[in-house]
Amino acid sequence: MPINAFLLLGAALFSIGVYGLLVRRNAVLILLSVELMMAAVNINLIAFDRFLGDEMAAGQVFALFAIAVAAAEVGIGLAIILLIFRNRQSANVDELDLLRL
Amino acid sequence: MTIGDFFTTPQNWVFLLIALPMLYAAYKVTTTNNVVHAVLALVGALAGTAALFILLGAEFVAWTVVLISIGAVIVLFLFGIMITRAPIGQEVDLSHPRSVKIWAALASGALFIMFGAAMLDEFGDDVIPEAADATRTGELGLLIFERYVIPFEVVSLVLLAALIGGIVIARRDPAADQQPGVSL
């Protein structure tokens, strides 16, 4: 298996995630795009782990850590969105312009 | 290596069989007008990553993705969708208008070309070596609890902080509910 195939897939998934991040207005859907980018990064970590044949399996271990941090991020992110929704009755990021002059 | 060589190895066919539906699912996550469909497409993309990890021989990470990302995070997302504005179904207001979409597509396309060119340039013909066998979960566990024990403890602290923070942020403040003038 050429490593480029995995790297290109990871790059494509990451770019699609960036596209979603820029295009979406709903905060929950923005978090979904971030999750997509996390998956792309994990693919790269595992592919490089196998490519380098690391005896310490650093790629796999840090992919596990990345998954755990992603889960924490989603939990906090959804809690914040929930609070915003409770106060503003909307999860649309365009309407969160309280700091705009 | 030419394109023809790529199709002589059966693993590459399996890779394509997993990768192409993944890309379609990822595209659906960012474009569909139905919130629940977007979440279900994300399940497809994450299942694809798990399948790729098994293909690469990282079995424990694959099942961790299935259990944590697909099992827990997706349920959390569905909770988030059902709690914040319930209109489940076709909705037009989820994305920015077309003018923004064009610029976003240009930006992400440029990003992809940049990444892709750099990777093709650096790793031209390099091949992932055929491993003798997959990484055993026991080995990975020993590594985590010997070599990587401090990062592991830090991650568990992060998870604890996220747990407490999530509860504190999302819970309804009883004092604020009783006094109408006081808000969060």
Domain boundaries, chain A: 3-91
pLDDT, tens digit, 9 for 90 and up, residues B96-116: 888 889 999 999 999 999 999
Chain A residues inside the 8 Å CB shell of B65: 42, 67
Q: Say which residue the tokens 């990822």 belong to.
A: B26
Whole-structure pTM value: 0.89
Which H or E run contains A73? helix A58-88
Q: What burial class does residue B123 get, using C-beta atoms within 10 Å of its C-beta: 0-12 exposed, 13-18 middle, 19+ buried?
A: middle
Interchain contact, B58 vs A50, CB within 8 Å? yes
Calpha distance B99→B119 (Å, rounded): 31
Give residue A42's pLDDT.
95
Q: What is the CATH number of domain A3-91?
A: 1.10.287.3510
Give residue B130's pLDDT.
76
Q: Structure tokens of B73? A: 């995070």
Q: Which pLDDT band, with edges at 50, 70 and 90, does B184 fall under? A: very low
The CATH number of the domain where B46 resides is what?
1.20.120.1200
| Sign, Cα dihedral of B16, B17, B20, B23 | negative
Residues pairing with A24 in the sheet: B95
Interchain contact, A75 vs B183, CB within 8 Å? no
Q: What is the DSSP letter of B34?
A: B
**Average pLDDT over every residue of A5-26:** 93
Interchain contact, B155 vs A68, CB within 8 Å? yes
How close does chain A come to B168, measured CA to CA in Å? 9
Residue B150 maps to a domain: no
Residue A67 near residue B64, CB atoms below 8 Å = yes
Tell whether B134 is within 8 A of chain A (Cβ). no
Give residue A62's pLDDT.
93
How many beta carbons lie within 10 A of that of residue B44, not counting itself? 16
Residue B132 maps to a domain: no
pLDDT, tens digit, 9 for 90 and up, residues B32-88: 888 889 999 999 999 999 999 999 988 999 999 999 999 999 998 888 888 776 555
How close does chain B come to A99, measured CA to CA in Å? 17
Domain with B70, as residue range(s), is 3-95
Interchain contact, A81 vs B80, CB within 8 Å? yes
State ipTM: 0.91
Mean pLDDT over all residues of chain A?
A: 89
**Average pLDDT over every residue of B123-127:** 82
